[in-house]
Amino acid sequence: MNVCLWLIKVELHFYPLASSGILCVLIGLLVSEASTRPGKNLEEEVSYLKLRLSSLKNRYKFLCDQYTSLAKNYSAPAFICTQCPDGWFQVDDQCFLLTADKMDWLNSKKNCTKMDGHLAILTTKEEHDAIEKESIRFGGFYTSYWIGLTDSENEGDWKWVDKSTLTTPFWNKVKSEPDNSPMAGSEGEDCAVVESRSQTWYDVPCSFTYPRICQKDAIPLE
């Protein structure tokens, strides 16, 4: 979880921005300190960072509580503090998971559902930007991931996995996608991937295998 982002979101409302920056710098220094301390083995470093992370999470919760309490008196905009499970990253109130393993589209859809989520429904540029950053960090520079978009019921009628209609497309127009390429034969191209670097979509055969992006709601912080 991005602790710096949490702190910035919460502290922005009450403290000069500099305080968030200072905290993030401190986190950076802690990480750097832990990784360069002479004589420390990896196990000790991990345990030290876990302790610090736990402490920062408590600090985040404290600031959230403080915000909620003060916001009531000053008509401040509502802000619900949320968190994602470990390994998922957060964009606004949504959690996303990039996988390394590959499956066809249908099994990818089932796998996300098993984790109480769904294949990703990407509707904003902000989500694409976040996915690009995370995918480069996670899997390298150039990767395509399944998203929850298909026209398998009616050719050309693209629907998200929650049955909603596609309203904000990010197809790769340079490559004339979606093209339901004749090269795919009778199967056609009825499922969509996001190519992480260009943040654009391609339609491809659903039987192809790709890693996937699962999505679910962030959990309100208790």
- Please state the closest distance from residue 173 (CB atom) to Ca ion, in A: 12
- Residue 203 touching Ca ion (CB under 5 A): yes
At 144, list the tokens: 């395509």
Tell me the C-alpha distance between 81 and 219, whole Å. 8
- Please state the closest distance from residue 87 (CB atom) to Ca ion, in A: 30
- DSSP E strands: which ranges in the chain? 82-83, 89-91, 94-98, 118-119, 144-150, 159-160, 191-195, 200-204, 213-217, 219-220
Q: For residues 117-156, which are near Ca ion according to CB under 5 A?
A: 151
- Residue 195 touching Ca ion (CB under 5 A): no
Residue closer to Ca ion (CB basis): 134 or 190: 190
Residue closer to Ca ion (CB basis): 123 or 181: 181
- Please state the closest distance from residue 200 (CB atom) to Ca ion, in A: 11
- Please state the closest distance from residue 152 (CB atom) to Ca ion, in A: 7
Contact pick of 123, 180, 197, 205 for Ca ion (by CB under 5 A): 180
- Residue 190 touching Ca ion (CB under 5 A): yes
Which H, E and C letters describe 102-127, residue by residue? CECHHHHHHHHHHCCCEECCCCCHHH
Which residues sit at the interface with Ca ion, rule CB under 5 A? 151, 179-181, 188-190, 202-203
